[in-house]
Chain A
Amino acid sequence: MSISNAPVKVETPFRRFVAGFCESKVALAGLAVCTLIILAAIFAPWIAPQNPYDLAQLDIMDGRMEPGTVGGGGFTYLLGTDDQGRDMFSGILYGLRISLLVGAGSALLAGLVGATLGLLAAYVGGRTDSLIMRLVDLQLSFPAILAALMILAALGKGVLNVVIALVIVEWAYYARTVRGSALVESKREYIEAARGLSLPTRRILFNHLLPNCLPPLIVVGTIQVARAIALEATLSFLGLGVPITEPSLGLLIANGYEYMLSGKYWISFYPGIALLLTIVSINLVGDQVRDVLNPRLQK
C-alpha cells in the first residue's frame, strides 16, 4: 500500500479559473501571443535594432526600402523602412509601447472611475443612483468614436489627452456592469453584517462590495482594453490622437497611407498586422475569461 505524498491540491476559485481557461486551446494561444506582444513592448529598447526616434541613427538614404533590404547601417531592415529611413520593425516595437500604454492606462483609469461610481450608485441608491445612471445612459447612447473625436478636438493632440478622452467615453461600461452586480451583492448578509458593525462606507464599498463584483469587472476590462487600443489607433489615424513625436501603431499606419497608392505597402501593412494581433489576442483571452466566469455556463 503506498501513500502518495504529493500535496493535495485544494480547489480555490483562482485554480478553478485557471483550469477553466486552459480548456480552450485558442484562448491559450491568444494569451501566448498577448504575453509575447507585451514583453516585446516592454523590452523594445533592447530588442529593436535601432532607436527610431534618435535622428542621428536614421539615414535618409535608406528611405522607403523594401522589407529585407540591407541598409547603410549594416543591418537588415526586416520589415522595410518608412520615408525617413526609419526601420519599421523598430518603429512598430516602439509604437506598441504607446498603443499598449494608452489602451491599458485608459482602461485602468476608466475602470477606477466607473467602478467607484457604479458602487456608489448601487449602494447609496435613490437620487444618486438615478443621476449616475442617467449619465451612463447618455454616454452609452452616443457613439464612442464621435464623443472621443469631439473631446480631442477641444483638448488638442497629446498622449494624456487621448487617455482622458478614452476614460470619458469608457467609464460608463464599467459603471453599468459594477452597479448590476453590486445591486445583487449589497442585499447579501455579509454587507448587512458590515453595516451592523457600522464600518465606514468607504471600507464597505472597497473592501467588501468591490471584491465580490470583480469577475464581471475583469471581463469588461479585458474587452475594453482591446476597444481602447483600437479607438486610439483610429483617432491617431484621423490625425487627432497622439502627436507625431510619440507615434502609436495608428499613426504609423497613417504615415504609410500616401505611399500605399504607389505600391509601397509595408509602411502601413506591418503596423496594421501588429495592431491586429494585439487586438485579436486580447479579444480571444477576453472571450474565454467571459465564458469561464459566466455563472450561467458553469457546470
Chain B
Amino acid sequence: MTVFLLRRLLQASGVVLAMTLLVFLGVYAVGDPVEILISPEADQLERERAIKALGLDLPLWRQYLVFLGNALQGDLGRSFVFNEPALRLIFDRMPATLELALGATFLALLIGLPLGLFAGLRPNALRSRIIMAGSILGFSLPTFWVGLMLIMVFAVQCGWLPSTGRGETVTILGMRWSFLTWDGLAHMAMPMLSLSLSRIGLVIRLTRSGVRENMVMDYVKFARAKGLSPNRIVFVHVFRNILIPVVTVMGLELGGTIAFSVVTESVFAWPGMGKLIIDSINVLDRPVIVAYLMMIVMLFITINLLVDLSYSVLDPRVRLESRE
C-alpha cells in the first residue's frame, strides 16, 4: 500500500512538473507582455530597465526556472490588472465557484436519483421513456443557451429571480458565502440549475443502469424470499449499492463541473474563478491565467489521486494488480 501510494505521488508530481512546463510555454507564447506592461511613452532606457526588472531579458528556460522557483514558494506573480498577488485573487473568488459547483452537484443528485430509480424500476413505462429522452436532452442542451433562456423567462418576463451577481453574502472562516442567505440563494438558483442540467442527465443514466443491474442479483431475490417489503428492498438494499458508483462518478465529475462553471459564470456574471479567467484571457493578464491553470491542475491531480486510492482501498483487485 505504501509503495503504491509513493509511486502514485511520484507520478503525480511528474505530471505537475510537465503541466507547469506546458502552461508556462503556452501562456508565455501569447502576445508580448512588454507591450502591455510598459507604457508606450517610456523611452528606450526605461523600457530596458523594466524588461530587466521583470526578468524578460533572460532566455526562456531561465525564465521558466525563475517561475518554477517562485511557484514552489507559493508565488505565482502579481496580476497586471488588479496589482494583487494572482494566487490571492483566485482564492478570493474560489468560494463563489465552489458553492456553485457543489450546489449543482447536489441538485443533480436530488433530481437525478429519484428519476433514475423510477426509470430503472419500470424501464418500459411511458414515463420512464420520457425521463430517458429528457436525459439525452440534458446532455445535449448547450449550457450557456439554457442560461440565457432561464434569464429570459425568470428574470425578464416573470421578474422572480435576479439575473446577475451573488447577492447578499455571509462571511464564515474569512470567506464569503451566498448559500446561507435567502437573497444569495435566489441569486444562485438559476446558475446552479443551468450548471446541473447535464449532470442530472448523467445521474439519471447511472442510476437507471445501476437499478437494472442490481434488481436481478441474488441478494435481491434473497431479500424477496425473506419477505421484505418491495420498498425496503429498493430504498435500503438496492439504493445503497447504486449510490457507490453514482457518488464516485459525481466526485470525479466535480473537477469538470468546476471547469465548466467558466461558462455559467460568464452568463450570469457570477464573480467566481471562471469569470476571472475569461476576463484575464481577454486582457492577457498572464500571471492570473497561469495561477488559475496551476490551481486547476493541482485540483485534478488531487481528485484523481483520491479516486485511485479509494479504489484500491475498496477493490482488492486493483491492489493485486499494482503489486505484480
List the interface of chain A (C-beta within 8 A of B). Answer: 26, 138, 141-143, 145-146, 149-151, 153-154, 226, 230, 233-234, 237-240, 250, 253, 256-257, 260-263, 265, 268-269, 272, 275-276, 279-280, 283-284, 287
Contact = CB atoms under 8 A, between A and B. Distances in A.
Contact of B256 (A143, A263, A272, A287): A143
Interface in B159-217: 163
A90 B157 CA distance: 27
B145 A261 contact: no
B143 interface: yes
A29 to B, nearest CB: 11
A279 to B, nearest CB: 4
A234 B141 contact: no
A237 B262 contact: no
Given A138-B18, A141-B304, A238-B262, A283 B139 contact: yes
Contacts of B304: 141
Given A263-B152, A284-B136, 18 more contacts: A26-B133, A142-B300, A143-B255, A149-B277, A150-B26, A154-B26, A154-B30, A233-B144, A233-B145, A234-B144, A238-B262, A238-B266, A256-B148, A261-B151, A261-B156, A268-B148, A283-B139, A283-B140
Contacts of A265: 152
A183 B52 CA distance: 54
B73 interface: no
Nearest to B146: A272
Contacts of B29: 154
A272 B140 CA distance: 11
B156 A145 contact: no
B151 A240 contact: no
Contacts of A150: 23, 26-27, 289, 293
Nearest to B297: A142
B102 interface: no
A237 B144 CA distance: 8
Most buried by B among A238, A239, A250, A262: A238
B278 A269 contact: no
B140 A260 contact: no
A269 B142 CA distance: 12
A153 B289 contact: yes
Contacts of B133: 26
B223 interface: no
Contact of A260 (B136, B156, B255): B156
Nearest to A30: B136
Contacts of A151: 26
A141 to B, nearest CB: 6
Nearest to B282: A239
A145 B142 contact: no
20 contacts: A143-B259, A146-B262, A146-B293, A150-B26, A154-B27, A230-B142, A233-B142, A234-B143, A237-B144, A238-B262, A240-B281, A250-B142, A250-B144, A253-B148, A257-B148, A260-B152, A260-B156, A265-B152, A269-B152, A283-B140
In the complex, the 8 A-B pairs of residues with the closest C-beta atoms, listed nearest first: A143-B259, A272-B145, A279-B140, A280-B140, A153-B281, A146-B259, A237-B144, A143-B256
Interface size, B (range): 35 or more
Contacts of B249: none
B260 interface: yes
A275 B142 CA distance: 8
A142 B19 CA distance: 11
Interface string B274-314: 00011001100000010001001100110010000000000
Given A138-B15, A268-B148, A280-B140, A149 B281 contact: yes
A234 B274 CA distance: 14
B140 A253 contact: no
A50 to B, nearest CB: 24
Contacts of A253: 142, 144-145, 148
A286 to B, nearest CB: 10
Nearest to A229: B142
Contacts of A279: 140, 142
Given A253-B148, A272-B149, A287-B136, A146 B163 contact: no
A58 B160 CA distance: 37
Contacts of B300: 141-142
A276 B281 contact: no
A193 B293 CA distance: 49
B257 to A, nearest CB: 9
Contacts of B15: 138
B53 to A, nearest CB: 25
A146 B282 CA distance: 15
B91 to A, nearest CB: 19
Given A154-B29, A240-B281, A287-B136, A268 B145 contact: yes
Contacts of B27: 150, 153-154
B163 A261 contact: yes
Contacts of B26: 150-151, 154
A145 B265 CA distance: 14
B137 interface: yes
B145 A276 contact: yes
Nearest to B296: A146
A166 to B, nearest CB: 15
A146 B30 CA distance: 16
Given A150-B26, A240-B281, A280 B263 contact: no
Nearest to A26: B133
Contacts of B289: 150, 153
B262 A149 contact: yes
A257 B155 CA distance: 13
